[in-house]
Structure 1
Amino acid sequence: MPTDPTPDGRARQASGRPDWATIPNVVTLLRFLLLGPACWVIVDDPEGSWLPPVLVGVWAVTDWVDGLLARALNQQSRTGEILDPVADRIGIALVVVALGLADALRWEPVAVIVLVDLLVVLLAGRAAQEGRMRVTHVGKARTAVLFFGICAIVLGISVWPQVLDVGRVLVWVGAALHIYSATLYIRAARLGTGPAVRRPTDGEGQA
């Protein structure tokens, strides 16, 4: 959606609404707010309780809900475009750390996910903030695989242990995709080439 610069320097939607004031951004904010309770119930002996998988499941689903709402309501925004992947990265990093603390996940994939995220922030964060990059298909697949893996692990340590190993394998696959995705973003930021480079024809929106 087009934006009009206001005298105070803030971008406003053509309708007069501030760029950040959208329903999808409220959903993204909810994803942030769910992180604390979700991580707490993971670490706090979740065996036999449905609360951890429900909380983590709702947290994961909001990633698709905000994007769907942005498109359905025509409320794509530059704020959402920046906020959504930040919420994903922070959320995934904190939840896998919680799984590590709960002895539900080995620390190797946790370290890969967290360290790669830090590297992307350092080498590609500014380019992302300036809108010079876009989310890639690999990045979307990475996020989906990690979400499914995390949810399976939480379900496994809570009420359905049969899916625990499936979740751990998915997290390892997600960590591998995480590395590959990071190379695409860093390449786009540093060299200006590759599928993560934003083209002039790309529209704004939440990924």
Structure 2
Amino acid sequence: MTLPNIITLIRLAIIPFYTYFLLTNDLFIAAILYGVAAISDILDGYLARRLNQTSNLGKIIDPLADKIIVIISLIYLGLKAIFPLWGVLILFIKELIMLLVGFFFLIRGVEIISSKIYGKLAMVLISISILMALLNISFSSVVFLIGLVLSLMAGMDYLLYYLRSLKTNKS
């Protein structure tokens, strides 16, 4: 087990506590836990590259941890009408499709690619928008919608990559 994967597992362990504080409306503590999770995400990615400890397991559990905490956050913020529910649903469906496509291609032996710049930027903006919303900072929904657009662009790019890979593997 690599150090980056251990950090990711710790991030997964934060999620139940984060969810508890969301549901009890202690949004300041929830924001702190979300911030810790976001920092650990940056740290494990940096360490994986720096220590040359990237792994297929890490390529799956790292985005899975990110997606779980983001989806919990977005469902909460959408149901509270802080973010537009339609935007939350679009992002949820996109993330579910990307997860299923990733697993499908992993099973088929196609290389799982890491996030590209606009996928990373989308996640940064969505994370910032979640922190803004938890801390009751104005314009969080605008930042969320910009992140949503970038996330959809990144999703299309990944989908096209995997479709080209599928076509190449059939040839």
TM-score (norm 1): 0.71
Partner of residue 45 from structure 1, selected from 25, 41, 64: 25
In structure 2, the residue matched to 1:186 is 159
In structure 2, the residue matched to 1:142 is 122
Native 8 Å contact 1:104 1:153 kept in 2: yes
In structure 2, the residue matched to 1:175 is 148
Q: Give the counterpart letter for 2:25 in structure 1.
A: D
Change (3 A) 1:77 1:183: same
Q: Distance in 2 between matches of 1:100 and 1:137?
A: 26
Structure 2: tracts of 5 or more residues without a match? 167-171
Following superposition, the deviation at residue 131 of structure 1 comes to 4.6
Cα deviations by residue, 1:78-110 (Å, 9 ceiling, x for unpaired): 221222122222221122112223443221221
Q: Does residue 1:83 correspond to 2:56, yes or no?
A: no
Cα deviations by residue, 1:102-146 (Å, 9 ceiling, x for unpaired): 443221221011011122233443225635242211211111111
Q: Does residue 1:106 correspond to 2:79, yes or no?
A: no
Choose between structure 1 and 2: higher helix proportion: 2
Native 8 Å contact 2:31 2:135 kept in 1: yes
Structure 1: tracts of 5 or more residues without a match? 1-20, 157-162, 194-207
Partner of residue 127 from structure 1, selected from 91, 100, 105: 105
Instruction: Give the secondary structure class of the aligned counterpart of 1:50.
Output: helix
Q: Give the counterpart letter for 2:57 in structure 1.
A: T
Native 8 Å contact 1:32 1:87 kept in 2: yes
Change (3 A) 1:79 1:140: same
Q: Distance in 2 between matches of 1:68 and 1:108?
A: 34
TM-score (norm 2): 0.84
Aligned residues: CA RMSD = 2.1
Following superposition, the deviation at residue 44 of structure 1 comes to 1.8
Q: Give the counterpart letter for 1:27 in structure 2.
A: I
* Equivalent residue pairs, number: 164
Q: Which has the higher contact order (CA 8 A, sep 6+)?
A: 1
Change (3 A) 1:24 1:124: closer
